[in-house]
Amino acid sequence: MLPAAPAPEPAVEATAAPAIEADLADGQDDRIRERINGIFTEVPSLAHVTASVQQGVVTLGGTVADSQARQRAEAIASRVQGVVTVENGIERDVSVDGGLGLQAVAAKFQGFLKLLPLLGAAVAVALLIAAIGYVLAGLGALWRRATPNAFLAELIASAIRFVFVVGGVVIALDMIGASALLGAVLGGAGVVGIALGFAMRDTIENYVASLMLSLRQPFRPNDHVVIDGQEGRVIRLTSRATILMTLDGNHLRVPNSQVFKAVILNYTRNPQRRFDFELGIDADDDPTAARHLGIEVLKGLDFVLAQPDPQALVVDVGDSNIVISFLAWIDQRETDWAKARSRAIPAVKQALEQAGFALPEPIYRLRFDNPPAGLNPAGGSPAPAQPARERPPAAVRETLADTSPESEIARMVEEERATTGEKDLLDPTRPVE
């Protein structure tokens, strides 16, 4: 069987252009010309355009200020009933008065003068809304009671001022009908904001870190801390940096973005602190006896705490010595850590030496290929006798025995805080995180 022939596709009717009348009514060309010229007369930008009609064909002539007016004239003429086609012979007016559109500028200026009362009312409304925002932001006592710290209260006040100012500008632009301008301004502000965000990334990060530190309160004024390897006592926390006074009396500003990410060691939070030191004894000596003796000496020091107990640990065995680490605790409110350690080391050393323990010294072998005359290479010359050492005066010994806390840096910090009027974000009434 032969395959069936495909069904014929339905015929698509072509859209025919409207037919042109063969006979024109008497006076129709005159009516079309009068109609088009009448319309052009009422349009200021087409006042110098003329139209002539012959057999339904419209020929436009004259001058206009710009190409948009030329196209508008042709569109108007083509919409008049009875027009067959339009021949556009309009030329642009390149004269000073016509080309620059001074008449249009004058019309816009007159419109601006009429807009001045409404513009003044819009400015007054914007200023009123902004003033309300400033009044609300000025209620500092209210925001300080509602927020955890003064920094956050100031941030809320700034945000209120910003929102009310922007709201006033938006309402003013809407009153004068400049919604399109408002959209362009907001769009441009968004692009500028993104660019500034990338350019000021470090500044913004530092500002956010200041806010977080003011909420966390990681330390107190005059705390002895180590921040990212920088040691000192805290003077204050500002909106940009944490200010320390180093142990040698210098000011140190650490950016808050660095402080927020750093490991913070705070010596002040726990009043009890341990000190340690190492001493070596001869390899032939008994380390257990040396350990017990050192512990008894540490217990006998008036500044060493009974609890936790002092300890002594063997940490290393060298070629000619045994290294013992001695550990003891003090109360930092009554004893200075460095002074306590400085006093404990000679006390334990002297006790070990008096008990017969040898504290070995490094031994070096010297080789002389050509020994000088009079020197015995084999036995050498006997060492001269050392003169007896005199004990320091009692006043010096009393000074060395002083282990009271060092207060000079703490006093300098308190004076700095009292004399400087810079804002401090540290709040002693809030708990330390």
Q: Domain ranges in the chain?
A: 28-98, 103-199, 272-364
Q: Give tens-digit pLDDT for 307-338.
A: 999 999 999 987 788 999 999 999 999 999 99
| Predicted confidence (pLDDT) at residue 143 exceeds the cutoff of 80 | no
Q: What is the pLDDT of residue 102?
A: 60
Return the higher-pLDDT residue of 21 and 227.
227
Angle at 129 between CA 127 and CA 134, to 5 degrees: 90
Over range 357-370, report the average pLDDT.
Answer: 73
Strand partners, 231: 226
Computed on alpha carbons and rounded to an integer, the radius of gyration of the chain in Å comes to: 48
Lowest mean pLDDT: which of 117-131, 174-188, 299-313? 174-188
pLDDT band at residue 250, thresholds of 50, 70 and 90?
very high
The confidence score (pLDDT) of residue 281 equals 92
Considering only the C-alpha atoms of the chain, give the largest distance between any 2 of them, rounded to a whole number of Å. Answer: 152
Q: What Å distances lie between residue 17 and 14, 20, 71, 346, CA to CA?
A: 9, 9, 23, 118
Task: Find out if CATH 3.30.950.10 is the number for domain 272-364.
Answer: no
Query: In this predicted structure, what is the pLDDT of residue 363?
Result: 67
Paired strand residues for 400: none
Residue that is written with structure tokens 């004058």 in the block: 106
Strand residues in 361-405 grouped as ranges (E): none
pLDDT value, residue 119 = 83
DSSP 204: H
pLDDT at 231: 93
CA of 144: how far to CAs of 99, 119, 122, 264, in Å? Answer: 63, 38, 34, 28
User: CATH number of the domain at 28-98, out of 3.30.70.600, 1.20.140.10, 3.30.1340.30, 3.40.50.300?
Assistant: 3.30.1340.30
Task: Give residue 353's pLDDT.
Answer: 92
**Residue 375 reports pLDDT greater than 70:** no
d(CA 433, CA 2): 94
If DSSP codes are grouped into helix, strand and coil, which group holds residue 362?
coil
> Which one is predicted more confidently, 110 or 336?
336
Least confident of 27-31, 172-176, 263-267, 412-416: 172-176
Tell me, what's the pLDDT at 120? 85
Collapsing DSSP to helix, strand or coil, 305 comes out as coil
Tell me, what's the pLDDT at 13? 47
Cα distance between residue 43 and residue 20, in whole Å: 29
Q: Mean pLDDT check: name the lowest of 18-32, 78-92, 121-135, 241-255.
A: 18-32
- The pLDDT score that the predictor gives to residue 396 is 45
